[in-house]
Structure 1
């Protein structure tokens, strides 16, 4: 008897706690490139990329080949026990790619580990405890990362973050009422009223917010943060777990700002679908902690490292940085046409924003406004799925649709996805 999504959902509900949620009630049977098929044979165009993981698509042949080859040699050795060359090779390559002079890297398993270890390193380097993050941010679901995260629902519902020394200031979103100057003024007030800057170890920011809604920190804003950190001896940490590995048309989003951060958190797309994360930093900062301070049992797993080295090869050989820019321009033009359409059945679109292929748009209550319509946003995602398109809503106000296609999606599949999105916008 053939499996159905409904049958599998019943099994899932019996076996899993409801906190382990999935956006769409779909069970995948097969995935390739930018397409998925569920257990009932339904076809989907993937505009989610496994939450910006599949930048090189699902099961890229070169990534699969690298994993298969590594699997003939060894699968796990435990890097704290003995070393392996794929780990070292990947770190060497990250050090060259990062916009940090004299960089060193270390690998982990999840993005939350990367952000938490960034704080550990910054605290060790500075001898301070304070950490400043921004509203709308997402840095992970573990306890410290959760305290750093600037969004309550659903991540912090019923859970009061217990980490001392974590402070948040408003992320600048001008069309929702917070200018860059107001954000910087809030930081100044924080330093005057709540924690002195000489007690702050790190300012942590996503150059482009992920779960928060793909809001962008501008070049002048990031440059101002760099100046403030230099002034007070604070580590500037950029969380590139979602925005890295070519997503924005640069290898790292922070490159658009022409600054050098002290630490860069990476993950998601790095492993080509396998769990892998990392922390890149200035040697002066990251090389301070003693042996055993960084790492973990599965950190830098050889299979994931082999996959990541193949991902780097694919990004270079297929020119995916340039392709990300092309994809972003096409999606942005499509959304602008949809926003300006005379068709009154199309839901009102507010702000449209894109940095490379990191594209998002807001659904609002009426044309010309910025009033969020979170319920309509949920309907669009549901209707899109029924039409065979996977989308992920997000945002501080719950009214943002993010579009994160694989960076090697071909034009035909991209257009099929956009045509399905156009229909879904009449939900």
Structure 2
């Protein structure tokens, strides 16, 4: 492995992909399904990753502003690796039988939530989709109704099982034949090309409640895959009030927004609300698959045993890594707020006629591209993405039109990698393809 301390990052010494990466991509293609998409968007093969630097098989070094899609909120850090190594000395599979790692994690998780949620219960899963599906199932079990769930345009809650119905984009549903849950979809406020106000959305929800049997509402505090869209302040409070007035269970999906990403441990804290159910995933396992649902303690009284099964839920290695993430995240929150505000300003000040809008909170920032009053086309976006990679910066896109770059670097990323990354992004985004 290259000594990254002695080489300036980024360091690009071959075309992208380089010869060894080309070989690896070819070999992967021989054995693995062609339906996967990431090797097409990120045409290199990884040798190693340390902190926020990716080294490919050809010796190229890239700045990582993607973190596995907000999975490594604290980067590929030594303390996570050490926690996993230590847990390996004990056990790496234990079903639901108590272990020290499990108890430590449950205590740390509960302490991460506001005081008025300190009695909530936890149920584990594997993925964000698993968590969201379980949350909706909890709501339906508690209500005892064959009812619908209010969901939002632009939402992404996973692509498996029943929860596929709550995800907005049709492209994610191709090949999935599950009928899904009963959902009623309404607009999400703040989407650039649609212009729905909070008042308009609330009115549409009221109409939906009047016309349907509704027992739950599932919302992302900031749209993730939908474009890193930040709703107007007061949106979550308006939803909380509406749910209270109509005896509707409020589910907040924190899979991508949680664990400090927005400058709060949990994004719903920006509006000081108390959700009934919270979905947690991605970074909570420190890069090892784990998710969970955190829900009101009184709901636990009506859940049958067993309620939600899975052989690999709450893997001890993920619990050990997750405990470290939860304990260390508060120390970086102030930096996420201050550096995030500066980054937001820097992105906004880039002089490029391709940038249509910049929005975000903390280290969750979307830079939406467009031209002539229209979203940037997908072919151009792929060229921009590849242009960034060739210059040593790894970023991903999102949004209904796929026209938004999302900044989701590690919360503890070295400042020099932020400065250099900003220079690269500014240069590439000024180009017209």
Using the size of structure 2 for normalisation, the TM-score is: 0.90
1:116 aligns with 2:133: yes
Q: Which residue of structure 1 aligns with residue 9 of structure 2?
A: none
Match of 2:333 in 1: 321
Aligned to 1:290: 304
The counterpart of 2:144, out of the listed 127, 130, 134, is 127
> Aligned equivalents of 2:341 and 2:381: distance in 1?
23
1:234 and 2:263 aligned = no
Distance in 2 (CA, whole Å) between partners of 1:109 and 1:174 is 30
User: Does the CA contact (< 8 Å) of 2:52 and 2:413 recur in 1?
Assistant: yes
Residue aligned with 1:219, SS: coil
Of residues 180, 184, 195 in structure 1, which corresponds to 2:198? 180
Residue 371 of structure 1, CA deviation: 4.2
Task: Kindly state the Cα deviation for residue 152 of structure 1 after the two structures are TM-superposed.
Answer: 1.6
Q: CA deviation at 1:331?
A: 1.7
Q: Which one of 106, 109, 114 corresponds to residue 94 of structure 1?
A: 109
Contact 1:362–1:400 (CA<8 Å) still a contact in 2? yes
Q: 2:74 — aligned with what?
A: 56
- Of 336, 343, 347 in structure 2, the residue corresponding to residue 331 of structure 1 is 343
Give the Cα–Cα distance (whole angstroms) in 2 for the partners of residues 101 and 73 of structure 1: 29
The verdict on how the C-alpha distance between 1:13 and 1:414 changes in structure 2, with shifts beyond 3 A counting, is same
- Of residues 381, 384, 396, the one that matches 2:385 is 381
1:394–1:402 CA contact under 8 A, matched in 2: yes
- 1:311 is aligned, of 321, 325, 329, to 325
Distance 1:15 1:138 in 2: 29
Is residue 45 of structure 1 aligned with residue 59 of structure 2? no
- Worse overlay, 155-164 or 232-241: 155-164
C-alpha RMSD of matched pairs (Å):
1.8
Residues 37 and 44 in structure 1, CA contact (< 8 A), matched pair in contact too = yes
Any gaps of 5 or more consecutive residues in structure 2? 1-17
Q: How far apart, CA to CA, are the structure 2 residues paired with 1:142 and 1:272?
A: 22
Q: What residue is the counterpart of 1:218 in the other structure?
A: 232
Q: 1:166, CA displacement in angstroms?
A: 1.6
Task: Number of aligned residue pairs: give it.
Answer: 408
Matching residue within 315, 319, 322 for 1:301: 315
How big is the shift at 1:296? 1.6
Q: Distance in 1 between matches of 2:133 and 2:265?
A: 22
Deviation for aligned residue 1:160? 5.8
CA-to-aligned-CA distance 1:41-67 (integer Å, 9 cap, x gap): 111100101100111111x12211111
**Secondary structure of 1:364 counterpart:** strand
Shift of 1:101: 4.8
Quote how far apart the aligned CAs of 1:188 are.
2.1
- 8 A contact 2:108–2:327 mirrored in 1: no
For residues 372 and 185 of structure 1, what CA distance do their matches in structure 2 show? 31
Please give the per-residue CA displacement for 1:93-127, whole angstroms capped at 9, x wherever unaligned: 22222232521112211111100100111111111
Q: Give the direction of change, closer, same or farther, for the CA distance of 1:401–1:306 in structure 2 (3 Å limit).
A: same
**CA distance 1:253–1:286, change in 2 (3 Å):** farther
Indicate the residue corresponding to 2:365 in structure 1.
359
Where does the alignment leave 5 or more consecutive residues of structure 1 unmatched? none
Within the alignment, does 1:103 sit opposite 2:117 as a pair? no
TM-score, normalising length: structure 1: 0.91
1-side partners of 2:315 and 2:178: how far apart? 31
Match of 2:169? 151
Q: 1:10 aligns with which of 9, 26, 30?
A: 26
Matched, 1:29 2:47: yes
Partner Cα distance (1:94, 1:219) in 2: 26
Instruction: Return 347-356 or 275-284, whichever deviates more.
Output: 347-356
- The within-5 A match list for 1:192-207 is 192-193=210-211, 195=212, 199-207=213-221
Asked if the contact 1:127–1:201 (Cα under 8 Å) also holds between the matched residues in 2, the reply is: no
Say whether 1:83 aligns with 2:89. Answer: no
* CA deviation profile, 1:347-404 (whole Å, cap 9, x unmatched): 52111111111011110114xx464444432221111011111110100121111000
1:334 Cα deviation from its structure 2 partner? 1.5
Q: Deviations over 1:315-348 (max 9, x none)?
A: 13xx21112112312221221220xx2xxxx452
| Secondary structure at 2:349 match in 1 | helix
Rounded Cα–Cα distance in structure 1 between residues aligned with 2:126 and 2:100: 17
Alignment partners' CA distance in 1, 2:269 and 2:397: 26
Instruction: Describe how 1:232-271 pairs up with structure 2 within 5 A.
Output: 232-271=246-285
